Amino acid sequence: MAKSRFSPSKFSINEDPLDAVLRPPPDETPDARADRLRREAEAKQVSDEIDESLRQEKAVWKKNKSLFRLLLLGQSESGKSTTLKNFQLTFAPQAWAAERASWRAVVQLNLVHSINLILDVLAQELTANPLQRPRTGAYPYTTSTAAAHTALSTPPSPDSPTGPSFADDVPDISAPLKFTDKHALLKLRLAPLRHVETDLRRLLGAADDATEVIAGCREDMKTLWEDGVVREMLTRLRLRMEDSAGFFLDDVDRIATRTYEPSDDDVVRARLRTVGVQEYQLRFENPGAVDRSVGREWIIYDVGGARSSRAAWVPYFEDANALLFLTPISCFDESLEEDRHVNRLEDSFILWKSVVGSKLLRRCIIVLFLNKYDLLAKKLKAGATINKHLSSYGERENTAPVFAKYLHQKFREQHKEYSPEPRSFYGYVTCVIDTKATASTLSSVRDGLLQQHLQRADLVA
């Protein structure tokens, strides 16, 4: 009778009992042995794979622990994504250059959007007030203007994307009538751009057809934007296209071509709303003065700033090492897009107080950018009055430098009052579409942040 494999007599003091249990029986047949070896090889492979994945997870975890995490916060259109672009342009120029071409569709989309906006306003103006247009009385409403008016409200048919041409029905018109007819025609001619906008939204980055249509509409777009009466209408309605996000109408000649490639400046000025929280890995191509491992790679979180997106910020608070808060200081006379009753500057104050007062962020280094200084200066030059919208400003000088200084002080005071524990305040007045000035600001922000971070780490260690 064969000896039992489990006989205690087989165990020695140095022997692993499990080995003994797993040891093959001495009378194993060649087939059984081959089968066993195959199963063992498979099991080993699975086990190795698990080990490898655990090793990788651990490595990532260890690596991530040493990564520096920066959160970009602020209301919508405060300049967060534009600041992120500046980080890339300044510290990772090669990665930036590789991505630049993919912004072509966004710039095209911005351009087409502006054209559509003007055409919408034009159509609304004609629909709302046909008998009084224009107020100067230089362009009386006549049958031919009525024809134009009808054409403006007729959507183009799918067979004829440019819509019915009414030009042949219009009698030989005199100069005063040119406004409405010419613009109605333009609207019809530019109608395909509506589809381009929809297509581009769907196919960001892969819209060769769109490029073709945009190039084909170049002259029409220029005519519309350079038209004196259109400009008069926009001024009267206080629609300052030049100051709006994603303004490219002055660059139609350059952009509406088949070979258009975006420049650095185009990419920085292009507007693409952020949805949710976007994580960006920034690898410093030139680590610079603070050449420590923590300075080589950052994770930057760029968030959507609209009110509906703000709840999504909170899970990122706990791990954040630093926070860059942007407030657009040109918006003292504007209201939130998502709630017309709320002043944008007021919204920024509330947001700032809740961010600096957050217990989750109490260890975070906070930097403030008082952004859009260029737009503030322009607005005040054009006659806007600060204290009409912000009574606490009182009788101080209605100029950009004085207002910027006032806000800097106000944000600093709130920072001091609401921070759960004392911490330093870093505030900068910025215009983040000025890439040169921003590069120098970001360099000092980066060095300052890393120094603070390392000091804290030394204290903790």
Q: Phi and psi of 447, rounded to 5°?
A: -65, -40
Q: Which is nearer to ligand GTP, 271 or 423 (CB)?
A: 271
Which CB atom, from 271 or from 412, has the smaller least distance to ligand GTP?
A: 271
Secondary structure of residue 257 in the 3-state scheme: coil
Q: Which is nearer to ligand GTP, 272 or 454 (CB)?
A: 272
Q: Could you tell me if 309 and 276 are in contact, meaning their C-beta atoms sit under 8 angstroms apart?
A: yes
Site string for ligand GTP, 294-333 (x = CB under 6 A): ----------xxx---------------------------
Distances (CA, A) of 284 to 70, 80, 88, 292: 14, 19, 9, 11
Distances (CA, A) of 78 to 344, 346, 432: 10, 13, 10
The stretch among 46-54, 72-80, 153-161, 316-324 that binds ligand GTP (CB under 6 A) is: 72-80
Nearer to Mg ion, 188 or 303 (CB): 303
The residue within the footprint of ligand GTP, chosen from 68, 69, 71, 79 (CB under 6 A), is 79
Q: Residue 69: phi, psi to the nearest 5?
A: -110, 125
Identify the CA nearest to 345 among candidates 367, 371, 321. 371
Number of residues that bind ligand GTP (CB under 6 A): 24
According to the binding rule CB under 5 A, does residue 371 interact with Mg ion?
no
Report how far residue 148's alpha carbon sits from residue 166's, in angstroms, rounded to the nearest whole number. Answer: 8
Q: Which DSSP state fits 335?
A: B
C-beta separation of 443 from 279 below 8 A: no
**Interface with ligand GTP, residue 77, by CB under 6 A:** yes
Report d(CA 181, CA 151) in Å as an integer: 9
Q: Which x/- pattern, by CB under 5 A, does the window 257-276 give for Mg ion?
A: -----------------x--
Shortest Å, Cβ 152 to ligand GTP: 29
How many C-beta atoms surround the C-beta of residue 295 within 10 A?
20
Q: Note whether 345 and 99 are within 8 A (CB).
A: no
Q: Minimum distance between the CB of residue 328 and ligand GTP, rounded to whole angstroms?
A: 7
Among 130, 176, 246, 357, which residue sits at the site for ligand GTP (rule: CB under 6 A)? 246
Asked if residue 430 binds Mg ion (CB under 5 A), the reply is no
Report the residue number, 134 or 304, with the smaller CB distance to Mg ion: 304
Binding status of residue 82 toward ligand GTP by CB under 6 A: yes
Q: Output the residue with the shortest Cβ distance to ligand GTP.
A: 305
Whole-number Å distance between alpha carbons of 79 and 376: 14
Contact flag: residue 240 with ligand GTP (CB under 6 A): no
CA torsion 106-109-110-114 (nearest 10°) is 180
Residue 25: helix, strand or coil by DSSP?
coil
Least Å from the CB of residue 264 to ligand GTP: 12
Q: Which residues 349-388 are close enough to bind ligand GTP by CB under 6 A?
A: 371-372, 374-375
Position 274 contacts ligand GTP (CB under 6 A): yes
134 contact choice in ligand GTP, Mg ion, none (CB below 5 to 8 Å, kind-dependent): none
**Token reading at 78:** 């405060």
Give the nearest distance from C-beta 274 to ligand GTP in angstroms: 3
Q: Is 445 an interacting residue with respect to ligand GTP (CB under 6 A)?
A: no
End-to-end Cα distance, the chain: 67
Asked if 263 interacts with ligand GTP (CB under 6 A), we say no
**Residue 342 CA to chain centroid, in angstroms?**
22
The site string for Mg ion over 76-105 (x = CB under 5 A, - otherwise) reads ----xx------------------------
Q: Which residue has the tokens 């004085």?
A: 402
Task: Pick what 388 binds: ligand GTP, Mg ion, none; C-beta below 5 to 8 Å, kind-dependent.
Answer: none
Q: What does 446 interact with, of ligand GTP, Mg ion, none (CB < 5 to 8 A by kind)?
A: none
- Residue 155 token pair: 């959507």
Shortest distance in whole angstroms from residue 370 CB to ligand GTP: 10
**Residue 371 binds what, of ligand GTP, Mg ion, none (CB under 5 to 8 Å, by partner type)?**
ligand GTP
Please, which of residues 417-436 interact with ligand GTP by CB under 6 A?
A: 431-433
DSSP string, 384-435: --GGGT-GGGTTS--SHHHHHHHHHHHHHHHHHHH-SS----EEEE--TT-H
CB of 127 vs Mg ion, minimal distance in Å: 34
Cα distance between residue 212 and residue 111, in whole Å: 14
As a residue count, the chain comes to: 461
CB 428 within 8 A of CB 411: no
Binding site for ligand GTP (CB under 6 A): 74, 76-82, 245-246, 269, 271, 273-274, 304-306, 371-372, 374-375, 431-433
Binding site for Mg ion (CB under 5 A): 80-81, 274
